[in-house]
Copies of this chain bind each other. A is one copy, B any other.
Amino acid sequence: MARRPPLEYALLGLLAGQPMTGYGLRRVFASTPMGVFSDSPGSIYPALARLERDGLIRSAGQSGARRGSRLLEPTRAGLAALRRWLSAEITRDDVARRIDELLLRFAFMDRHLDPVSVDRFLGGLAATVSAYVNELRAYAGSAGEPPSSTGRLALGHGIAACRATAQWARRARAEWRKSHGLDLP
């Protein structure tokens, strides 16, 4: 039940999609927009060692004929941990400080949660982000100390970015519902 760093869930989610070697995972981080994570061996291999130590991934044969290379795959416990992470409630703090992790969760969802849960996630995300936008606006309005001009503009960026996320969530939800026949409110 212990909380794990996002990197470990990213690894778990990728391996659930397709068994890979540690090097394969590094290439994914180096060559796709998942590049928020470092592709350095010093972050990947220790994370994989922790996952294996805790029984969340295991070896599943070799890559080609290469000695020493290990294809890795999640165990049943690993898939359960992944599903728990995907199903966690969205909090205000997730939105304010860990928005990237929420999007990472969403990216893995279709393979592991049912369409209704995905729909609920997008609804919850839109609602929580909108609430946070109101919080930011309230702060911008009150303005305890007279803020600097670029400080005020920077806060405007925070608001604009959150509004874009909320709008994206609403549109993604509409699209999701359409393609899964979820047409009730």
A residues near B (Cβ < 8 Å) are: 17, 32-33, 35-36, 96-97, 103-104, 106-111, 118, 136, 139, 148-151, 153-158, 160-161, 163-165, 167-168, 172, 175-176, 179
In the bound complex, residues from chain B placing their C-beta under 8 Å from that of A17 are 148
Q: Are A97 and B36 in contact (CB under 8 A)?
A: yes
Report the copy number of this chain in the oligomer: 2
State the Cβ distance, A164 to closest chain B Cβ, in Å.
4
Cβ of A156 and Cβ of B172 under 8 Å apart? yes
A161 interface neighbour in B139, B149, B161, Cβ under 8 Å: B161
Contacts A33-B139, A106-B153, A108-B150 supplied; 13 other A-B pairs, CB < 8 Å: A33-B96, A35-B97, A103-B158, A106-B150, A106-B157, A107-B155, A109-B150, A110-B148, A110-B150, A157-B168, A160-B164, A160-B165, A163-B164
Complex Cα spacing A148 to B14, Å: 11
